[in-house]
Amino acid sequence: MDPKEKFREILREGALRFSAEEIPLSIERPANPEHGDYASNIALQLSKRLRRNPRQIAEEIAKASAPALAATGLFEPLTVAGAGFLNIRVKPEAKLQVIRQVLEQGKDYGRVKKEKEESIQIEFVSANPTGPLHVGHGRQGALGDAIAALLESQGHAVTREFYYNDAGSQIEKLALSVRARAKGIKPGEPGWPQEGYNGEYIEEIARDYLAGQGNEDDLESIRKFAVAYLRAEQDADLQAFGSSSTPITSSRACIPKGKSSRS
């Protein structure tokens, strides 16, 4: 039971004794903690409508609400302060109740079970296999995983997915860059592909490709090897980071932003 919402509910019932038309009831934390945990100015609002002394209204609301507030076992007696503010303090044992709930429920604390699950797909990271993951991808991994975990805790069926495009001009540049490295050509030298990838990781991929007896002239084999190499590296990084998602290839077709396809 949320003490703030229970206090609001009981005050609303007390205020309806004065006005059949409901008034928006705000519950605030007093600027001075000595005044209590929660405060309401409902009596001042009612005084404008009823043209009565707000403090008298506050005292009548406090008296009318006292039995219901006491029955909850959550609060100290309601007090009237100043021109007609209603202040209340939550009992210390009630404040500790949430800690007991956390300890009792453990990882299940805050989780919600729904009769009908809503299926939600969360796509995150989704870095194309043209190079190692960077800090920006790590941020996306943390954010995506956190959103997915939050939705799961509220009773939704969540699928985490990582989309990547294994075709197109960028993948072509990757394959051409690896092939050039496999042939001993370095960035900037004659024969290096225009807009090729210059990172040291390209040399590592080429070296491993050749170590597996790969043909330096077979561009399609180089493409497949480079994509698989970088996908495996991305998976290892995400696992080490503690983020998980199901890799879904684009079936060698470019994925427009906001859409997806499965292989």
Residue with tokens 């707000």: 54
Q: Which tokens belong to 77?
A: 């007696």
Residue 56, classified by CB atoms within 10 Å of its CB into exposed (0-12), middle (13-18) or buried (19+), is: middle
pLDDT in tens, the chain (263 residues): 689 999 999 998 888 887 767 778 889 999 888 889 999 999 998 898 888 999 999 999 999 999 999 999 999 999 999 999 999 999 999 889 889 889 999 988 888 888 888 899 999 898 889 999 999 998 998 999 999 999 999 999 999 988 888 889 999 999 999 999 999 999 999 999 999 999 999 999 999 999 999 999 999 999 999 999 999 999 888 888 887 666 555 543 333 333 333 32
Q: How many beta carbons lie within 10 A of that of residue 217, not counting itself?
A: 10
Task: Give the contacts of 183 (CB within 8 A, at least 6 positions apart).
Answer: 191, 216
* CA 91/CA 87 separation, integer angstroms: 13
Q: DSSP labels for 61-109?
A: HHHHHHHHHHHHT-BPPPEEETTTEEEE-B-HHHHHHHHHHHHHHGGGT
Q: What pLDDT is attached to residue 26?
A: 87
DSSP code of 164? E
Q: Exposure string (b/e) for 172-204, b if CB count within 10 Å is 16 or more?
A: ebbbbbbbbbbeebeeeeeebbeebbeeebbbe
- What pTM did the predictor assign? 0.58
Angle value at C-alpha 228, between 226 and 230, nearest 5 degrees: 70
> For the range 211-216, what are the long-range contacts, defined as Cβ-Cβ under 8 Å and sequence gap of 24 or more?
214/182, 216/179, 216/182, 216/183
Q: What pLDDT is attached to residue 253?
A: 34
Q: What pLDDT is attached to residue 97?
A: 86
Identify whether the C-beta of residue 163 lies closer than 8 Å to the C-beta of residue 144: no
Tens digit of pLDDT for each residue in 169-219?
999 999 999 999 999 999 999 999 999 999 999 999 999 999 999 999 999
* CA 108/CA 170 separation, integer angstroms: 44
